Chains A and B, each alone.
Chain A
């Protein structure tokens, strides 16, 4: 008897999936088993890949997002067909909006049953077509390895995004020889990485000519790993930097050139700077409506708008751009640094730009964010909570937020020094993102402190993942800013709907007891006097902890530019 050489040995489609994931260096999968994906789950049991069993498939997608944002590598999700697959849609859409690399493997009914309304059948490829970067339905076991290779390549390169691979059960069971491709060659997908040098020179010339240059940076800087280049460029030139929600941490908050967040809840000084700049360079940002407000009034004095982005479709989509530069931000900024260093004349511009910077600092003094930090007697200010968690972590932590007022307070008040430190749902605005994202982050960076800041509404959208935190002893500190309201909805109703609170007040469970039921240590803070000691005790407790902090019911996020409005309509109270 001759035994077949190893390279000719046939594996099942399921085994090929697992071998392919191993070849991609996947160390953790977030998932939930079910009928149509069972063959692959069976193969998974024999592999060294860690599997985190979530409590809801949406949780798996946000964990994968948190993992991806911290590690920079695609997060991997594995679920079954039908409801398992449809439950991932929100997380996939979230990852698509925030350019997060993710590979979602879904079980599917056998190819012979597809289209027959079989049990737990859903056309997940059709459903996710508009919210994935690309997706696949594998019909032949011989394609499994190639498609998984392509899925990781597409998810992680260019502008990152989610890729879904649908695996019919019979494809998982069929056999083929496993050979993982060395490289991907897609004639139709070739991201442009190197920026056009002439355009980069034009951009530098425009900056040099300007009196009031400003950088406006978004999440793309972090995905590209370009925070270092950005910091050198901005400091080298002395040009101030404002950041989008997704861009926070790209430039150290402690640097006086850092103006923090712009847009709807950006500070007076930062938005005034945007209104007065004569040369705006957008870097890995996409002119979202929460940033621009009314487009016609955005950066009205900017004679030149430069836009650096890897996605050509982001350029001139919302705002007409004068100097587009398509390319990977890190590569473009490196080239730009070289151009700048070779131009002696640009150094002579520093005094003029220092004057401009002084002007912005004067605006900051004139109208700071939250004068006196809103300390108001017998209630705990949410700003004090954020200040306290900064003290406890010495500023060195990853914060995952949910969506709403607490998210904006964190974005406004927490000084992020490093990239990949704020995990938040920016584009889609997904309540329920925070807790699972925090868990995924902790798995990607076990040595870092991970804090989840949530609201009483948001936390209830995926609170079941506390069970996951307990099962795997994932050490995250969950802080709920509890005002017994859907706070941001309430704020909009107060400002724009004559204080008619239509279904925004909310009864909430006893979070401490709920935490206890899950096996999580719970704390509650109702008065300012309890804040420091209780937070300290909670943060000193190993393992997952939940802290329910009661804040004033009708506190607002200020300042605020009404939706579709402009700087002149900014509300301060």
Chain B
């Protein structure tokens, strides 16, 4: 089933994440990635970016049910929209004298950063979309991955929409219609 990224603007109040998450769990829908952050410009709101999968009908229901929540202010469904997606990943990788330079090469190629160094391991921070993260992990895996943490995905629509289908765009900019 296709994956979808949805960005939800909510009131910044306790319990709001439980409301949003509960909506998914009570219908048996899975959340594959989730980030929640207070808006730095307007601290009365938070932004939840989540990735889920489902067909058109499930997605439509998710949108409508999210809209129905009193704490939800606006939904941007990025279905069919050109977006910027980023995720930050920290990977702790085993190194020895032989592999240290190989890792340096990968880090440079991916414009990643070494953020912590120990005698036998190096922690690298890498930022990018899904494909870039997957490629990076695939390349460093043979070196020996000790630990990986991922931030979850954040997303934003691009300023210029070249390839989007119109329906998706219209829905993404639709103001909340409330029951």
Contacts and interface: CB of A to CB of B under 8 A. Distances in A.
A238 interface: no
B19 interface: yes
A188 B176 contact: yes
B65 interface: yes
Contacts of A159: 179
B151 to A, nearest CB: 27
A177 B64 CA distance: 39
Contacts of A191: 178-179
Contacts of B159: none
Interface in B63-80: 64-65, 67-73
Interface in B1-44: 10-11, 14-15, 18-19, 22, 26
Interface string A177-216: 0000000001111111000000000000000000000000
A133 B70 contact: yes
B177 A312 contact: yes
A130 B15 contact: no
Nearest to B10: A188
B108 interface: no
A316 B63 CA distance: 12
Contact of A137 (B15, B64, B67, B178): B15
A125 interface: yes
B73 to A, nearest CB: 4
Contacts of B26: 130
Nearest to A310: B179
Nearest to B14: A137
B1 to A, nearest CB: 19
Given A126-B18, A312-B64, A313-B67, A187 B179 contact: no
A311 interface: yes
Contacts of B65: 313
A192 B178 CA distance: 6
A134 interface: yes
Nearest to B57: A316
B61 interface: yes
Residue in A188, A190, A326 with the greatest tally of chain B CB atoms within 10 Å: A188
Nearest to A159: B179
B60 interface: yes
A158 interface: yes
A316 B70 CA distance: 21
Q: Which of A310, A315, A317 neighbours the largest number of chain B CB atoms within 10 Å of its CB?
A: A317
A154 interface: yes
Contacts of A375: none
A154 B57 CA distance: 27
Nearest to A191: B178
A527 interface: no
A186 B176 contact: no
A188 B11 contact: yes
A553 interface: no
Nearest to B74: A188
B15 A313 contact: no
A301 interface: no
A314 B65 CA distance: 9
A313 B68 CA distance: 7
A513 interface: no
A310 B177 CA distance: 10
A50 interface: no
B177 A189 contact: no
Nearest to A317: B61
Contact of A188 (B15, B60, B61, B71): B71
A35 to B, nearest CB: 24
Interface in A317-364: 317, 326
B89 to A, nearest CB: 33
A22 interface: no
21 contacts: A125-B15, A130-B26, A137-B14, A158-B178, A186-B70, A188-B72, A188-B176, A310-B179, A311-B179, A312-B64, A312-B67, A312-B68, A312-B179, A313-B64, A313-B67, A313-B179, A314-B179, A316-B57, A316-B60, A317-B64, A326-B177
Given A188-B72, A313-B64, A315-B64, 12 more contacts: A126-B18, A129-B18, A133-B70, A154-B70, A188-B69, A189-B70, A191-B179, A312-B68, A312-B177, A313-B61, A313-B67, A313-B68
Interface of B: 10-11, 14-15, 18-19, 22, 26, 57, 60-61, 64-65, 67-73, 176-179
Interface of A: 125-126, 129-130, 133-134, 137, 154, 158-159, 186-192, 310-317, 326
